[in-house]
Amino acid sequence: MITNDRVVTTRSARTHAFLGTHIQTVAIGAMLLVVLVVFAATADTFGSVENVLSVLRQNSPALIVAVLMTFVITTGGIDLSVGSVLALSGALLGILISAGIDPTLSFLAVLLLGAVVGAVNGWFSHYQGIPAFIVTLAMLGIIRGTALRATDGYSISIPKDSWVGFLGQGRIAGVPAQAVIAIVVAVVGWVVFTKTPFGQYVTGLGSNRESLRRAGVNVRLVGFTVFVLVGVAAALAGVLVAMRLGSGSANQGVNFELAVITAVVLGGTNLFGGRGTVLGTVLGVLTLGFIENGLQLAHVSPFYVQIVQGAILLAAILANAKLFSRFTVAR
């Protein structure tokens, strides 16, 4: 016969085990809830459907890249070039379409560009042994400089009368097309990360590379692949940003990589690899997006927005670290 004390003990053990694994995701989810409640009470239009959809639309490019950045960081790598790839992708799309190239071919060429940049990052990082931080920092400058040279520093207008324009301005069942794309990417990313062998390899590469190699997994190929994927994601984000604004520019995506990495780490992915969470990343992106939107609607001076965001993020990361350590010990 199972006693009540044993049932309570079992439930407590399960709770601690769950929190030991998911405490940072729970924490960022709670933070997002607090942000929504506070700003809904202080900003009149914050809770409106149109404002929520606007936030989703504006943060869709970051969400797409952040999902794939989760894979990269979980392997123990990092990609600082995604903001530059975003800028070059939008500029290239504008140049190609303006030159009379078919929009579909132009779109595919832009995605190919992202894949090539990701392949270069992955090759240097995983086949040549150069730290990803150094490789992608170098590519950040190279790609941004290429974008500036290609556009001469000017914005390139992009016609919106093709299907590509729908990606930036269209709606599907009342929801911005960009948000729908971001949701699809997030769902697919979550399934791959949590339900497939590749997702297990990504985590294993960051936690115990040598054991994974001895198990017969091509660890170099796994690491190479995640860089290619995040490169494609950055190119897609560049298309979405360019079509939303109606132009491509070498100045788009400045500090984009920092916002993406912050969202990923804030969501609970270990910056040093071995632990990642796509769900936490999604919550991290939404939290940052709603904080910025809420501060703007509350008429906080833009000069203070980054200060407030930084303070909130620092407090959240500190709380997550303490909570994570506490429940890890409790297990």
Residue 329: per-residue pLDDT: 45
Residue 84: per-residue pLDDT: 96
* DSSP code at position 161: S
Residue 298: per-residue pLDDT: 84
Is 224:123 a contact under the CB 8 Å cutoff? Answer: yes
pTM of the model: 0.89
* DSSP code at position 186: H
Domain residues of the chain, as ranges?
Answer: 43-299
- Tell me the average confidence (pLDDT) per consecutive run of 10 residues in the chain, 331 residues long: 55 54 80 91 88 94 97 95 96 92 94 97 95 96 94 85 84 93 97 96 93 92 97 96 91 90 88 90 94 87 74 66 56 44
Which strand (E) or helix (H) includes residue 156?
strand 156-157
Buried b (16+ CB within 10 A) or exposed e, 153-163: eebbebeeebe
Residue 9: per-residue pLDDT: 57
Q: Which residue has the tokens 């100045």?
A: 251
What Cα–Cα distance (Å) separates residue 23 from each residue in 76, 83, 186? Answer: 21, 30, 20
What is the C-alpha separation between 320 and 326, in angstroms, rounded? 10
CATH code, residues 43-299: 1.10.3470
